[in-house]
Amino acid sequence: MPPCAPDRPPLPRAALLTAASCLRLSGSTDEPVRLLQSLCNAALDDDALCRSIERNAILCVQVLRVANSAYYGQSRKIETVRQALLLLGINALRGIAAAACVAQMIPQRIPGLRDTSAVLRHSLATAIASDWLATSRAPALIPQAFIAGLLHNLGTLVQAAVDPDGVAAIIAASRTGPCELRQLEKEHVAIGHEDAAAVVLDAWQLPHSVIAAASHHHQPAEAPETHRTLVSLVALAADLALASGSTFPLEPVAPTVPRHRGAIAVLDLSAAEFAAACEEVRQRLTRFGPLLS
């Protein structure tokens, strides 16, 4: 993980959790966090998934709006969560529920990061790319891939809340030319976004694999070996998200070539497949339009 700016002391865990709480992103007893914990459980069955969504009326409405988006092309309106499950399948419904949950949790503005919608869009695009890569390259990771991609950039929001001046400095520096985000974090902020995500996701008691994806996606080789394939998948998915146009203020320019050559090697992805995946991500992102509007 990247060290903090050398002239600033590290932020204590309590400060990060307080910042997350202010963002409606904290508290292991909060309903959205409980739902994410359930959705991360690969053994979650159909009935438990439906009950989890149906308990939250706002979430239920959002899930049905996404399920009825034009992308899915259903011939009749989906009126219940159980209909969505039957027509779309458990993994699709799990992903929609997680996306709606995170969209519900993220405020429209944070000090130091006014455009949180771009962060949400990038996170959704990364989740979609993660799911695509898992389906084609690592089917055993399908239950985890979407959520790991969705949460990989959560630390950016916490970082912006706890250190708005530092994040504003990174955004300003990124406009002057290409620079690796981790390097800018070393120069400007009290904590890296990967570290911030690790603290919050650990407090939420999410799986170690999801925490590893959030805390090592810029350097998959640093991840624990047991989770390295998932981390490599999320790292490459984040590149796909940027390349497909889902940039955000801290990474406003897509890399001209994939940054994670190691991840490409692990997943055996050709340049042609990378290009095709970018277009697929753009198309699939349209299904989540109701959450982004």
Task: With H, G, I as helix, E, B as strand and everything else as coil, classify residue 286.
Answer: helix
Instruction: Identify the CATH number of the domain defined by range 1-25+112-288.
Output: 1.10.3210.10
Phi, psi of 110, rounded to the nearest 5 degrees? -135, 140
pTM, two decimal places: 0.89
Tens digit of each residue's pLDDT, the chain (293 residues): 444 444 555 677 787 887 777 676 654 447 788 889 999 988 889 999 999 999 888 889 999 999 888 656 666 788 999 999 998 899 999 999 999 999 988 888 888 888 899 999 999 999 999 999 999 889 999 989 999 999 999 999 999 988 999 999 999 998 887 778 999 999 999 889 999 999 999 989 999 999 999 999 999 989 999 999 999 999 999 999 999 999 999 999 887 656 655 566 667 777 888 888 899 999 999 889 888 87
Question: If we measure between CA atoms, which residue out of 89, 70, 77 comes closest to residue 283?
Answer: 70
- What are the Cα distances from residue 190, in Å, to 6, 22, 157, 180, 198? 8, 18, 14, 17, 15
CATH 1.10.3210.10-classified regions of the chain: 1-25+112-288
Inter-axis angle of helices 31-39 and 90-105, to 10 degrees? 150
Angle (CA) 9 13 14, round 5°: 110
